[in-house]
Amino acid sequence: MFILHIIAPTTPEEAFDTISALTRRIDARHHLVALGHYSLVAQAALAGIPQESIQFQRSLGWWDPSGWRGLSRLVKKLQPTHVHCWSVAAAVSASTATCFQGPRLLTLMDTPSPRRVRTLGRIVGRLPWVVTTSSQSIHRTLSDSHLHLPPGRLHHIPPGVEYAQAAPDPLLRKQLGLVAADNPVLLVGGPATPAARRDHALWAAAILQQIYPQTRVLIRAGLHHGASDQGNNDLVRRFSNTLPENRMSLFAPYHVPWSALLPAADLVLVTPDRPIPIRCILQAMAAGVPVLATALDPITELIQDNKTGLLAPPGEPRAIASRLEEFLTNPTMRQPLIDAARAHVTANFSESRMVEKFSEIYAEPRT
């Protein structure tokens, strides 16, 4: 079995860890093609995908005929048994490789816009695709659309994470510039898109710092693959500089993985106002770091308020700050949240189970 993975600039950051797990744990030949931006190659290598199996393919976008021709030539040369795309844009490019007659898979880890759903409908109407989703909310979106996928062509595969205890690490805090090891540290994360609304998290933290001035904020800006993502990160930096306590906030280096920052945090803060991929939240829960997030799908599939984490209404920094204050003033909340979250992730989002489900789909005979 030879699986060709295709990614594009619109592929969520969370997909790279999943691809890495599949390349490590599924006994097959794997090759990754990165369309459109060299930063994708670096990000794939950082995720642990073997560099010798990563290849860059020039493409100006899903609409670029030169990119289509280049990918078609590559598919014809490599002759994979399976093609696995990790975004709608990657699937559009792969659908032009008419020389390939084997199984085509598409995994969606963020909710597609109505425009992308229509695009996907045109793709699956011409070729027999299998579509997998990482959350129930994405699954419902596609089920309620007019894709008309035959039975057995739409699957829900929850993301999987490995258990990893993130014990507090004073040395890491010092290396990151968080000088006082005993000050509470909030880790702000999410993808490099406007939907992540890191500005809401920073606003809430600034309100909290009026009560707890020693609170520190560690911001992990999303990895960017173009001017749009870079612009979103720059907006977050400019907003941070306007806050009265901006010296209390610092940005983590781009190359440091999200999971490596978790030991420095007392609480993870993710405050989107629209659906985003959930793997960053899963990693925090599995690592034993409490999570405060906004009450949106698919986050509510993971977090039960006051049991496996804390929820706040989206778009309301004052309400988010109130939940932060509640957490910091009630030390007894911490351990029950950690224990329940880790048990929930272990039971429902194991990496082994995710790999097993992908293996079953790869093994199904399809044309």
The per-residue pLDDT for range 281-330, each reduced to its tens digit, is: 999 999 999 999 999 988 999 999 999 999 999 999 999 999 999 999 99
Residue 284: predicted pLDDT:
93
What is the C-alpha separation between 254 and 210, in angstroms, rounded?
29
Give the pTM: 0.88
Residue spans of beta strands (DSSP E) within the chain? 2-7, 29-35, 54-57, 82-85, 104-108, 129-133, 154-156, 185-188, 216-219, 249-251, 267-270, 291-294, 310-312
Instruction: Convert the pLDDT of each residue in 69-99 to its tens digit.
Output: 889 999 999 999 999 999 999 999 999 888 8
Tell me which of 6-20, 122-136, 183-197, 345-359 is least confident: 183-197
Residues of the chain with CATH 3.40.50.2000: 2-160+350-363, 170-348
pLDDT digits (tens, 9 = 90+) for 91-120: 999 998 888 989 999 999 988 888 889 888
Third-level CATH fold of 2-160+350-363: Rossmann fold (3.40.50)
- Whole-number Å distance between alpha carbons of 173 and 181: 7
Q: Given this structure, which CATH class describes domain 170-348?
A: alpha beta
Contact 356, 120 (CB under 8 A): no
pLDDT at 182: 66
The side-by-side arrangement of strands in the sheet containing 54-57 is 54-57, 29-35, 2-7, 82-85, 104-108, 129-133, 154-156
Residues in the chain: 367
